[in-house]
Amino acid sequence: MSIFLNSHYGKNKLTPRQILSNPILFLAFGFGSGLAKKAPGTMGTLAAIPVYWLFAQTNMLIYSLLTVVATISGIWICGIAADKLAEHDFGGIVWDEIAGYLITMWLVPLTWQTMLVGFLLFRFFDILKPWPIKWLDQQVHGGFGIMIDDVLAALFAGGLLFVMVNLGWVG
């Protein structure tokens, strides 16, 4: 028995092998990070850091295009994953956290400080879900519903991070 993985996921009781071998589920579960027993959303956000670092090596136009594609395709990825699991917004579906972290980091420089503070701010808003994030999370369903609360949490986190960077509070 692993301390890191459950034996089955969702109402359809998919195995880790089924999840990791299906390309859509593999993405939805954040390259496997969403299989964590504890804090899969945090693990999914951690999995987003190397994706962000890779995307940040490009120019702003390419970063923007990649982030928009990751976010829009996330509606489809998360919707299919929820259907396959027979469970809406299952905790292991973490593609929304990956897209959310990319949005959070969109307009700030690549430094270890911005990556850390962006991570903390995004997790704060994603977990706390201040209005209207919580309302959207409860009212909107399907792939769009899975994505929209994280997109909004990312906009809150990214906006605050942008201000912090421009005030010189974060380097």
pLDDT for 3 equals 52
pLDDT for 4 equals 61
- What DSSP designation does 114 have? H
Angle (CA) 149 23 42, round 5°: 40
Instruction: pLDDT tens for the chain, 171 residues: list them.
Output: 565 677 889 888 999 999 999 999 999 999 999 999 999 999 999 999 999 999 999 999 999 999 999 999 999 999 999 999 999 889 999 999 999 999 999 999 999 999 999 999 999 999 999 999 889 888 889 999 999 999 999 999 999 999 999 999 998
Find, among 154, 110, 113, the residue nearest to 136 by Cα.
154
pLDDT for 138 equals 86
Which sequence spans correspond to the domains of the chain?
16-166
| Pairwise CA distance, residues 134 & 108, whole Å | 26
Find, among 74, 73, 84, the residue nearest to 22 by Cα.
84
> Which string of DSSP letters, residue by residue, matches 5-53?
B-S-BTTTTB-HHHHHHSHHHHHHTGGGGGGBSS-HHHHHHHHHHHHHH
88 phi-psi bin (left φ>0, alpha ψ -120 to 50, beta other): beta
